Amino acid sequence: MNQITLTLPYPISANRYWASRVVTPKGKRPMSITYVTPEAAAYKDAVAKLACLVGVTTPIRGRVQLDVKLYPNRPQDYATRQRKFGAAWDDSVLCMDLDNANKVLLDAIKGVAIEDDKWVRRLIAERMEPDGEARVVVTITPMPVGNPQMELA
């Protein structure tokens, strides 16, 4: 299978992806459960639909490399920020942490564009300069299995 590039909506924060609550089953002790929020389910559904629109019909099986480019929303006052902060103006733009974005993204593409996130062998992530609408661009490349370490056999 060939490389896949997807332009997806800006991910929700991992802090809003899962929620926990305490439930008390009848006649049992209270226990905490963690679940995917409705907002997370909607994000996963949007990712699946967008992947389908660009022709992704089956996930890439086996080892993959992911190149993730996270574009925060460009604020209306970006020109003022450029004058004030110079080349580092985009450091003043609100953007989620890359690790939060990656976890949500991997969960959303699992079973859609990749078989399972356990097959991600290389993950390259970069926060980009805001150039318009917030989004994430992920390029998924199949990775061949290299030669085994024969000295370990």
Percent of the chain, pLDDT > 90? 71
The amino acid sitting at 74 is R
Q: If you search the block for the tokens 């024969």, which residue do you land on?
A: 150
Q: How far apart are CA 72 and CA 91, in angstroms?
A: 11
Centre a 10 Å sphere on the Cβ of residue 94 and count the other Cβ atoms it contains.
9
Question: Three-state SS for 22?
Answer: strand
- Structure token digits, residue 59: 């996930």
pLDDT digits (tens, 9 = 90+) for 63-74: 999 999 999 999
Centre a 10 Å sphere on the Cβ of residue 124 and count the other Cβ atoms it contains.
10
pLDDT-based confidence at residue 15 (cuts at 50, 70, 90) = confident
Beta bridge partners of 18: 36
Tell me the whole-structure pTM to 2 decimals: 0.84
Query: Going by CATH, does the domain composed of 4-152 fall within 3.30.1330.70?
Result: yes
